[in-house]
Amino acid sequence: MTAQADRTTGAAGAARAPGTVRRRILVGAAALLMLTGGATLAHGAADGTDGAPAPAGGGHAAHSTGTGTGTGSSTGDASGAGEAGPVGGASRSGGFWMRADGVFSPPGSFVPSDALTYDTGLVPAAARIEITQYADRTSHRVGTRLRGLVPNRAYGMHVHTSPCAADPASAGPHYQHRASATADPVNEVWLDFRTDRNGDGEAEARHDWGFRDGGARSVIVHDAQGGAGKRVACFTVPFSS
């Protein structure tokens, strides 16, 4: 009886095999479509009503610092694998959001990246960065999350006026809302942060003004907090105005 039951089950399984194969082919094709085109689908509204991964609030007059505890959920962030292209969207209320992430590599690396490290002792190759930008009628916020840096260390970071290149100076000066001979976090976007024991850090800057069209093109990571410091890494960012 047992042998007969096994033969019956085997025959039924064989009869179903073509349909099973067809279903597997369809599922595999759907998965391939998602892998090749899914990254372009992540967009939403700046007011958060359509799933936008806007950075969380907080901070004093110009900026606040964190220690890698996380400021929100988003796919393809600085803790994920691989490097996704920038995504963003506009809201019904007239605001917008943007998110870009990168994997640091030295200039001239075999695999090109928008994120360059000039000092692999402070910003190791394969360390990650995510930049988010969020704006509505009353505020403009720029946030960052970084993974894989030196643990328990303070870093400086500012928005700069030009894209990154092999020469750290190519990113130009700090972006300033109003031209000034001095650097300060009210007139500029400062994202100073301190890493936790895992080498992760985050920060957010808030202002009541936004960027001029094409005026903000990158962020520079410095070896010290404050208005200046050695340029140890750079990330070209498609900031919106």
pLDDT in tens, 193-232: 999 999 999 999 999 999 999 999 999 999 999 998 999 9
Q: Global pTM?
A: 0.69
- Contacts of residue 86, Cβ cutoff 8 Å, sequence gap at least 6: 98, 99, 100, 237, 238
pLDDT at 13: 42
Residue 30 has pLDDT above 90, yes or no: no
**204, containing H or E segment:** strand 201-207
Query: Which residue did the predictor score with more confidence, 221 or 33?
Result: 221
- Contacts of residue 202, Cβ cutoff 8 Å, sequence gap at least 6: 65, 66, 67, 68, 69, 70, 71, 143, 144, 145, 146, 193
Mean pLDDT of the chain: 75
DSSP code per residue over 76-93: T-TTSSS-PPPEEEE-TT
Query: How large is the average pLDDT for residues 105-112?
Result: 93
pLDDT at 137: 84
Query: Which residue did the predictor score with more confidence, 72 or 139?
Result: 139
For residue 191 the two structure tokens come to 């994202």
Residue pair 30/157 in contact (Cβ under 8 Å)? The answer is: no
| Confidence grade of residue 92 (pLDDT, cut at 50, 70, 90) | low
Residue 26 has pLDDT above 80, yes or no: no
Q: In Å, how far are 35, 76, 185, 219 from 89, measured between CA atoms?
A: 21, 16, 27, 21
pLDDT at 93: 61
* Four-residue CA torsion sign, 136, 142, 148, 154: negative
- Tell me, what DSSP letter sits at residue 225? S
pLDDT in tens, 134-161: 998 889 999 999 999 999 999 999 999 9
Cβ–Cβ contacts within 10 Å for residue 59, how many? 16
Query: How large is the average pLDDT for residues 70-91?
Result: 50
Query: How large is the average pLDDT for residues 103-130?
Result: 96
- Contacts of residue 42, Cβ cutoff 8 Å, sequence gap at least 6: 53, 74, 75, 76, 84, 87, 99
Could you identify the residue written with the tokens 């946030």?
143
pLDDT at 95: 82
Residue pair 52/87 in contact (Cβ under 8 Å)? The answer is: no
For the chain, give the percent of residues with pLDDT over 90.
56
Residue pair 209/177 in contact (Cβ under 8 Å)? The answer is: yes
